[in-house]
Amino acid sequence: MEEDCMSSDNDYYYHDEEDDRDSLNGLQGVEDDLTSRNDGGSSTKVITRESLLAAQKEDLRRIMDLLSLKEHHARTLLIYYRWDVEKVLAVLVEKGKDRLFAEAGVIVVENPNPCSSSSSFDCGICMEEKSAREVTVMDCGHYFCNDCWTEHFIVQINEGHSRCIRCMAYKCNTICDEAKVRNLVSQRDLDLAEKFDRFLLESYIEDNKRVKWCPSVPHCGNAIRVDDDEFCEVECACGEQFCFSCSYEAHSPCSCHMWELWSKKCQDESETVNWITVNTKPCPKCHKPVEKNGGCNLVVCVCGQAFCWICGGATGKEHTWSSIAGHSCGRYKEDHENKTERAKRDLWRYMHYHNRYKAHTDSYMLEAKLKETMQEKISKLEERESTFKDFSWVTNGLYRLFRSRRVLSYSYPFAYYMFGDVLFKNEMTEKEREIKQNLFEDQQQQLEANVEKLSSCLEEPFDGYDEDKVKEIRMKIMTLTGIVDNLCRKMYECIENDLLGALQHTIHIIAPYKSKGLEKASELPYWWDTQSQTSEGNGVTGSCQPSSNLDNREDSACSSRKRARGGTLGGDRYFDLNLPADMINNS
């Protein structure tokens, strides 16, 4: 099988847009229910519709307790610092509380209400006289009439600025109290107030660097929160596996930038287009690409237009040994031949890596069918009166085959960019590049050879073998499983330390190697303090009933049942997160 995998480019190469799209999506979702799980606690959490509010409340409570703030002030701080509690604490220590609040637009000093000493006053926006009941004062002390505030809030919400609506006063940086915004807007447009609440709720995901929407299609409605390294690959509860950093499919050992370039190259056939661009010239009349099939530089398009191959200018159809009729473009440009040869060389190099990437992707898809056959083989072995009672060596070998095949497949796009001129041309000398490429390819070939051996052993009909033969196959699979795991780990160490770690001018980070497969995110529990729901200016709230089995905790449990989309968020409202925010008004 090793020889088949290393066949010539022409044996494998074909470039079809649908096949490339299948290749890019092919490795996604096959391992959904095949991956063994880590025994320890999960460092990634699934945020569902029900637990989103609880996750937000958790961070809000930390800031509220630490800085003795109201909830809308705490939310303003966290939105400004992208829901990074550690960043808020770091700024607090470095700059102090006053600078922390001022930069985020938080005013916690109670300003006297000017409306309490006067029955009427003039609005500074519309210049009309208003009664005290028609006036709203913000934390900064600025006051305007309710109509002007409402128009301001409506404009800001429709423009997508719901998370940080600032005071209308000139050069005032204060963020308006969300409770007052909600109160005024709901009197004019209940749906818009609903949209405002939704924006505030989803800011925990949209503005949080440690939380990302699951990119599943159709969308499962979940988000993923990571507690440790954000450069990782995760698996949602729906089975979708993706890179947390870029939200593309899991692609290590490629960095996010490498995978983005490779995906684009495979999807739009950019290398083929590049070769056509270099080796053809557009006709000056019909603009179709024309390829020269002879040595003469007078080219005639199928439309009948004659033009000069050297400069692309239109000419007559006659020429002599020294000139073309009706045209002269000066000296022949020598760099054109060099450019053509370079384009051909780049295309063949791309074909080399693409063929192997495609071959291992196809093998992965075909090997995924082994799951059903393995279950049948195990069932047959269990029915026999055999000394073997534990067949975990079969499933472990199968899981290892899937994971190592993925690593092997993505290692070719990595090598294409690591040892090419696109990203790291000035990072290594030619000698250094050659040494590092040989080191990497040696490890890659060792991994490839053992992966093919493991695949061959798993495909054997060992359910029909005798006891001794089964024992022999068992030892082979167990040995190869350990060898492949070790080779994958060594390849990652080589990439992280010797290749990417040695770069001086650019930084490329890859997700760490997971021997047991991608960690499946656990569901975030949704508990929060019931007292915070009734606090003044509480903003986004939820309806919960106290639980009787919380062991003296001040938390309460909230029902996980989905609720109908009717009413307001402040009044027991749950939103369907499958719908984008801008569709609320159309619902």
CA 415 to chain centre: 22
CB distance 79 to 72 below 8 Å: no
- Please check the confidence at residue 316 and state whether its pLDDT lies above 70: yes
How far is residue 68's CA from residue 62's CA, in Å, rounded to a whole number?
Answer: 10
Backbone phi, then psi, for 413, in 5-degree steps? -60, -35
Please give the pLDDT value at position 357: 92
> What's the full length of the chain, in residues?
587
Residue 420's alpha-carbon distances to 275, 408, 433, 478, in angstroms, are: 17, 19, 9, 37
Percent over 70 (pLDDT), the chain: 74
3-state secondary structure of 213: strand
Nearest to 153 by CA among 145, 144, 162, 143: 162
Tokens of 244: 């947390």
Whose CA is closest to 419, among 407, 408, 431, 410? Answer: 431
- pLDDT over threshold 70, residue 432: yes
Catalytic, 296? Answer yes
The answer for residues whose C-beta is within 8 angstroms of residue 278's C-beta and 6 or more apart is 339, 340, 343
* pLDDT at residue 479 in the model: 94
DSSP 327: B
Produce one character per residue of 472-493: b if its CB has 16 or more CB atoms within 10 Å, e if not.
ebbebbeebbebbbebbeebbe
Contact status, residue 449 vs residue 2, Cβ threshold 8 Å: yes
In order of 162, 173, 258, 288, the CA distances from 350 in angstroms are 47, 53, 14, 26
pLDDT in tens, 370-408: 888 888 888 888 887 767 778 888 889 999 999 999 999
217-226, 293-302, 333-342: which is most confident: 217-226
SS3 label, residue 469: helix
Q: What is the average per-residue pLDDT within 293-306?
A: 82
Which of 38-47, 148-157, 291-300 ranks highest by mean pLDDT? 148-157
The whole-angstrom separation of Cα 106 and Cα 166 is: 10
Quick check: 561 pLDDT over 50?
no
Q: What is the pLDDT of residues 494-520, one digit of tens each?
A: 999 999 988 888 788 899 998 888 878
Find the catalytic residue in 123, 164, 176, 296: 296
Give CA–CA dist 225/213, Å, rounded. 9
Task: Name which residue leads in pLDDT, 127 or 282.
Answer: 127
pLDDT at residue 418 is higher than 90: yes
As a whole number, mean pLDDT of residues 187-201 equals 90
Q: Are 412 and 448 in contact (CB under 8 A)?
A: no
The confidence score (pLDDT) of residue 186 equals 93
CA distances from 237 to 143, 262, 410, 453 (A): 48, 28, 24, 33
The predicted pLDDT at position 320 comes to: 59
* Range name among 50-59, 267-276, 457-466 with the lowest pLDDT average: 267-276
For residues 15 and 202, give the distance between their C-alpha atoms in angstroms, rounded to a whole number: 41
Residue 101 is which amino acid? Answer: F
Read off the amino acid at residue 431. K
pLDDT (mean) for 74-81? 90
Nearest Cα neighbor of 524 from 236, 260, 229, 275 is: 236
Contact 223/212 with Cβ under 8 angstroms? yes
Q: What is the Cα 398 distance to its own chain's centre?
A: 27
Q: Report whether pLDDT(581) > 90.
A: no
pLDDT above 50 for 149: yes
Is the confidence at residue 120, as pLDDT, over 90? no
Provide the whole-model pTM.
0.68
pLDDT, mean over the chain = 77
d(CA 24, CA 20): 6
What DSSP line would sit under 251-264, residue for residue?
-TTS-HHHHHHHHH
The number of beta carbons lying within 10 Å of the beta carbon of residue 466 is: 9
- Is there a contact between 142 and 167 (Cβ–Cβ < 8 Å)? yes
**Residue spans of alpha helices (H) in 6-145:** 9-12, 17-26, 49-67, 71-80, 85-95, 97-104
